[in-house]
Amino acid sequence: MNLDHLAEKIKIWGKELGFQKVGICDVDLSEHEAPLQAWLDAGNHGEMDWMARHGMMRARPDELHPGTIRVISARMNYLPPEAQFASNLSDTTQGYISRYSLGRDYHKLFRNQLKKLGQKIEKEVEGLDSRPFVDSAPILERPLAQKAGLGWTGKHSLILDKEAGSWFFLGELLVNIPLPVDEPSVDECGKCTACITSCPTGAIIDDGIVDARKCISYLTIEFDGIIPEEYREAIGNRIYGCDDCQLVCPWNRHADITDQKDFHRREDFEESDLVALSSWDEATFLKRMEGSAIRRIGHTQWLRNIFVAMGNAPFQQRIVESLESYRGQSELLNVHIEWALGKQLQQLPNANREQEGHNKVSTKKHRLIRIVEKGLPRDA
């Protein structure tokens, strides 16, 4: 068997299966063990206990899947055409949803394509033992991707490529055959610190090191508790994830729009008005988010995120009434509702000048204050 020829065929098959680039590396990630342990020891993983649960297995693919001697790393673009610009970040009455989650959940699709790649290799190699992973196991996918030549680790900790930027998913196929390895990618960030200085919460605490406890993506997706008040204003209207560090990255000027239609923005997000999104009951949320990564955070966390965004939005009576209508449903929601109502009320003097008629405004103002401060029914 000509392993060099097989490696080339694997890369061709990968492109046929929808991957934009495929690379191969060995399993030695020993240089990443100490930094990983230091990151965990500092508590930078927040409440993501699964990050520490398996110890250093994350840096040892051959322990994760015994017999592995090579990792085939692949990437798949996800930038949807409908989200080429982040214009709704500036319209704070709209909810901003991270670009990766505007379409269908990528895990199953990506994993199925990796599985098909393994099946193609199996036809060529007797005794092949392979296993695909897409965010489904303790494995350091970014160091593997860099080692396989798919890109370098940017200062925001994401993988970057000169031609593709960072708008892509990563996945791995672990195999037991001694394929030739690719040249690792080298750092091309230079002195640029755009991602660090643009992070709304200062979560990038050093080159390539993110404190998840400050990260908006963590706070709105992985964290299901009370969002610390110190970060709520910085969250703005980001109701699921955050793309700021990628939006400002110069390399993303070269990013291609995805050809994968499953990653295009779903119709449910053509209208992202905060009040409209908050009106979804749990059954509606579950139905509309079928096949979406967003579904896994659940309806309560979805509302929590929206309520924080409402607190950061310009004063609107309909926002106040929407917030008030959810009072008393849960302690978690109440904390964020009261904060958001307070933020809305702080804007009342400015909002009044934008209303028609002084008397009408005065009546509306006092009515809203009674609703918010006394918890009266809206028809009181």
- Alpha helices (runs of H) in the chain, residue ranges in sequence order: 3-16, 33-41, 50-53, 61-64, 106-124, 141-147, 194-198, 216-217, 229-235, 244-247, 274-278, 282-288, 298-312, 317-325, 331-346, 348-353, 358-374
Question: How large is the C-alpha radius of gyration of the chain?
Answer: 24
Both tokens of residue 235? 């969250």
Helix (H/G/I), strand (E/B), else coil: 207? coil
Region of 378 (left: φ > 0; alpha: ψ -120 to 50; beta: rest) is alpha
The residue assigned the tokens 């930027």 is 165
Continuous segment of H or E residues that includes residue 76: strand 70-77
Q: What share of the chain is helix, strand, coil (3-state, %, to 5)?
A: 50, 10, 40
Q: Could you tell me the sign of the dihedral formed by the alpha carbons of 26, 27, 31, 36, in that order?
A: positive
Contacts of 57 (CB under 8 A, 6+ apart): 63, 64, 138
Report which secondary-structure segment, H or E, holds 103.
none
Rounded to whole angstroms, how far apart are CA atoms 247 and 166? Answer: 10
Distance CA 78, CA 45 (A): 25
Catalytic residues, by residue number, are: 135
Cβ neighbours, 10 Å, residue 62: 17
Q: Which of 141, 132, 128, 129 is nearest to 110 (CA)?
A: 132
Residue 73: which region, alpha, beta or left (left: phi > 0; alpha: psi -120 to 50)?
beta
